[in-house]
Structure 1
Amino acid sequence: MALALNRDEVAEYLDEIFPQVRGDFRIDALAEMSVTMRLLAHDRHLRPGGTVSGPAMFALADVTAYVLVLSMVGRKALAVTTNCAIDFLRKPVSGADVIAEGRLLKLGRQLAVSDVLLRSEGTDAVVARASLTYALPPDR
């Protein structure tokens, strides 16, 4: 299955439909059924103590899954999260960007299932793991 949108096309589409998160996330690499993204850690993403907050990491996992779906099905803004389970495993490195590696495990007619691993930039240790399911619009 080929990509419906390349990295630049997905980034442009995200800017168009979600301008409120412009500058928060970056697509580092995009391939068929996989993506590497980054949360550009700003002060607004940090919790007391200077590490990236859980809600910011959740947002990164969710946007990563959304990018996976868009890259494979195209400009379908109404693809929506129907389930997310996230495990926070360890404290992220203070002030570091968080890197997400996402894989699309299944792309069906109605649902897309993905797995996302989050790491602090420059480390191998997983700081969080998420499993997300997206409902796809019926006009696909």
Structure 2
Amino acid sequence: MTLALTRDELAEYLHEVFPQIRDDFAIDDLSPERITMRLLTAERHLRPGGTVSGPSMFALADVAVYAMVLARIGKKALAVTTNCSLDFMRKPEAGRDLIAECRLLKLGRVLAVADVLMFSEGGTDPVARASMTYSIPPA
């Protein structure tokens, strides 16, 4: 397995096609099998009670899988989510970034399947788990 994009190329491409999320996410690590991404948690990501909102957690999982797929197949901006199952397991720690560890399970011609575990920064127990399927546009 090889990467079509390096960590820096991937980050630059994400900023190019989604400039609106430039300040929300960062790539911590990238390998052919995994990506670790971070939600740079800010006030806009919180819900009442001071915890990270469900939509923000979904966004982190979705961006992590999108980035992992692009890292492997290259610049295909029209890859899209076709399915998502998201389990919220624990309340994320207030005031900490959220970390997503994404593992690509299958990369086919048409579909990619990945699992994502999310943790509060510094935590050992996952706060959420997502299983996602992406559709890959035809060449």
Residue 24 (structure 1) aligned with residue 24 (structure 2)? yes
1:60 Cα shift? 0.0
Secondary structure of the 2:86 match is: strand
2:96 is the counterpart of 1:96: yes
What is the CA–CA distance in structure 2 between the aligned matches of 1:78 and 1:110, rounded to whole Å? 12
Letter in 2 for 1:24: D
Determine the structure 1 residue equivalent to 2:114. 114
SS at match of 2:26: strand
Contact 1:52 1:95 in 2 (8 A): no
Identity %: 67
Q: Residues of 2 paired with 1:36 and 1:105: CA distance?
A: 15
User: What 5-or-longer segments of structure 2 have no aligned partner?
Assistant: none
Spell out structure 1 runs of 4+ moving beyond 6 A. none
- Taking only aligned residues, the RMSD between alpha carbons, in angstroms, comes to 0.5
Secondary structure of 1:61's aligned partner = helix
Partner of 2:38: 38
TM-score scaled to structure 2, two decimals? Answer: 0.99
Aligned to 2:59: 59
**Inter-partner Cα distance in structure 2 for 1:131 and 1:6:** 24
Question: The residue matched to 1:126 in structure 2 has which SS?
Answer: coil
Letter in 2 for 1:138: P
The aligned length equals 139
Query: What is the rounded CA distance, in whole Å, between the counterparts of 2:20 and 2:83 in structure 1?
Result: 23
* Aligned-residue offset at 1:49: 1.3
Aligned to 2:50: 50
* Aligned ranges 1:121-136 → 2 under 5 Å: 121-136=121-136
> What is the TM-score with the length of structure 1 in the denominator?
0.98
SS at match of 1:67: helix
CA–CA distance in structure 1, aligned partners of residues 78 and 67 of structure 2: 13
Are the equivalent residues in 2 in contact too, given 1:111–1:136 (CA < 8 A)?
yes
Is the CA contact 1:46–1:95 (under 8 Å) kept in the aligned structure 2? no
Q: For 1:7-45, what per-residue CA distance to the aligned partner results, in whole angstroms no more than 9, with x for missing partners?
A: 000000000000011110000000002000000000000
**Which amino acid in structure 2 is aligned with residue 107 of structure 1?**
L
Match of 1:5 in 2: 5
In structure 1, the gaps of 5 or more residues are none
What is the CA distance between 1:95 and its match in structure 2?
A: 1.6
The offset of 1:50, in angstroms, is 1.0
Distance, in Å, in 2 between the alignment partners of 1:118 and 1:134 is 19
